[in-house]
């Protein structure tokens, strides 16, 4: 490896390990004390700027609300990367036919910056979608991350950028595995979901092992030596695992004791099943149910209990047919807003005689149904065997579940 290659390889090794102070010192040592400003000196100055931008990226600086105004330059991270591409182009043009090695560096780093911009755009879409009152279409995000992977699989392949290529691939694969898992969860496929969550976990562990963990002070994550973006992806994995534990609670519970199951679920990012139990007991709901509307391929559910995914108490309510009919007739469920409905039915006592001259006995069934869609074709239902107002029915539900 040539001296310049070795220098740049070490620089990108520091960047990939989150050692930004070391990368800055490494560049400073390479600069001559005096002399004319050559294209290579300009390139070294650029590397220091790149280190600052990479640290900002790992701190999720692209989420900061820095908007362009009439008299103010757009100083968002995405705009910074665009400015840096222009700087690289100038350096490349200044050394044409003179320093092909430097030209190659500029071209490869430009490819890397393009990949960064694509990821910034993806994360920005995810953030905006999470703030909207709409369901996230996991398949669309999966297609986008797979497009990014395919687009840049042959990019920035110079040996000097090998460390950055490795961590970029791990980051993309973590996102890919998690969105694949969410797609499989919507279809209630147990084994594919489990394998994909494990795949994301393994890649996060491999990425963490590459970090040397400089001292970080990152807002909400002050006590962690890991960068914010990495912690955010860890939390996303935790959220997917929590959803997995709810959707397949009954399957998992059959593999261990109730005490061990409660202990394992208590260590999750969110113990959704215990929240269901606590809510049902606290507000005396007849049942709390997660169910599908038969439009998904549930390859693991017991046919007799289908379409219920999980419920507490663990039984099928006699009002199940009413619930399914209500779901199919309620267009408002396409939004994230909960719907509350009250129904009063008169039923014949099944134990009364139908012989002529024998009186028939009737009773009134009054129930309040609270419904919301949590995934396309997956619904969350709370049933009260009494009349509740819309305000009372949900009882600050968002704080309890």
Per-residue pLDDT reduced to its tens digit, 306-341: 578 999 998 888 888 888 888 877 766 666 677 788
Which of 9-18, 345-354, 377-386 is modeled with the greatest confidence? 9-18
Query: Nearest Cα to 244, choosing from 194, 293, 308, 290?
Result: 194
Query: Nearest Cα to 192, choosing from 175, 206, 173, 179?
Result: 179
Angle in degrees, CA 314, 316, 317, rounded to 5: 115
Least confident of 93-102, 199-208, 297-306: 297-306
What is residue 294's predicted lDDT score, i.e. its pLDDT? 61
What is residue 392's predicted lDDT score, i.e. its pLDDT? 67
- Mean of per-residue pLDDT scores for the chain: 84
Express each pLDDT in 56-68 by its tens digit: 999 987 776 545 4
CA count, 13 A, side-chain hemisphere, 114 = 16
* Mean pLDDT value across residues 75-79: 86
Question: Domains (ranges, CATH) in the chain?
Answer: 3-246 (no CATH), 271-400 (3.30.450.240)
Judge whether 372 and 323 are in contact, CB under 8 Å: no
What is residue 95's predicted lDDT score, i.e. its pLDDT? 84
Assess whether pLDDT exceeds 60 at residue 243: yes
The alpha carbon of 303 is separated from its chain's Cα centroid by a whole number of angstroms, namely: 31
Query: Nearest Cα to 277, choosing from 297, 295, 261?
Result: 261
Q: What is the pTM of this model?
A: 0.86
Percent of the chain with pLDDT over 70: 80
What is residue 221's predicted lDDT score, i.e. its pLDDT? 46
* Mean pLDDT value across residues 255-276: 92
* Mean pLDDT value across residues 363-372: 77
Assess whether pLDDT exceeds 50 at residue 227: yes
Express each pLDDT in 93-136 by its tens digit: 988 878 899 999 999 999 999 999 999 999 999 988 888 767 88
* Mean pLDDT value across residues 44-56: 95
Express each pLDDT in 166-197 by its tens digit: 999 999 999 999 999 999 999 999 999 999 99
């Amino acid at each position: 490896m040539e001296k310049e290659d070795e220098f740049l390889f070490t620089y990108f090794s520091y960047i990939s390990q989150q050692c930004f102070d070391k990368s800055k010192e490494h560049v400073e040592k390479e600069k001559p004390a005096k002399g004319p400003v050559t294209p290579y000196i300009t390139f070294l100055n650029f590397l220091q700027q790149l280190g600052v931008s990479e640290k900002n990226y790992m701190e999720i600086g692209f989420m900061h609300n820095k908007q362009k105004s009439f008299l103010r330059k757009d100083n968002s991270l995405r705009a910074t990367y665009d400015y840096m591409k222009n700087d690289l182009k100038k350096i490349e043009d200044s050394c044409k036919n003179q320093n092909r090695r430097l030209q190659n560096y500029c071209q490869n780093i430009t490819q890397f910056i393009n990949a960064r911009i694509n990821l910034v755009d993806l994360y920005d879409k995810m953030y905006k979608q999470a703030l909207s009152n709409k369901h996230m279409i996991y398949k669309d995000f999966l297609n986008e991350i797979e497009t990014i992977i395919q687009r840049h699989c042959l990019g920035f392949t110079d040996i000097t950028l090998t460390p950055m290529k490795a961590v970029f691939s791990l980051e993309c694969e973590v996102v890919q595995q998690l969105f694949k898992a969410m797609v499989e969860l919507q279809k209630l496929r147990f084994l594919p979901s489990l394998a994909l969550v494990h795949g994301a976990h393994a890649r996060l562990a491999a990425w963490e092992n590459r970090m040397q963990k400089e001292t970080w002070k990152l807002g909400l994550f002050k006590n962690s030596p890991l960068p914010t973006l990495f912690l955010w992806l860890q939390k996303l994995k935790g959220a997917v695992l929590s959803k997995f534990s709810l959707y397949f609670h009954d399957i998992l519970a059959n593999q261990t004791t109730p005490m061990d199951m409660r202990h394992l679920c208590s260590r999750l990012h969110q113990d959704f099943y215990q929240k269901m139990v606590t809510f049902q007991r606290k507000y005396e709901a007849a049942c709390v149910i997660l169910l599908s509307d038969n439009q998904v391929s549930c390859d693991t559910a017991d046919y007799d209990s289908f379409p219920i995914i999980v419920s507490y108490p663990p039984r099928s309510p006699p009002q199940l047919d009413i619930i399914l009919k209500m779901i199919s007739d309620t267009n408002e469920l396409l939004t994230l807003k909960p719907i509350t409905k009250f129904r009063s039915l008169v039923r014949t006592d099944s134990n009364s005689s139908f012989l002529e001259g024998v009186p028939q006995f009737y009773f009134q069934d009054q129930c309040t149904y609270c419904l919301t869609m949590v995934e396309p074709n997956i619904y969350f239902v709370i049933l009260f065997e009494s009349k509740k107002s819309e305000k009372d029915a949900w009882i600050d539900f968002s704080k309890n579940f």
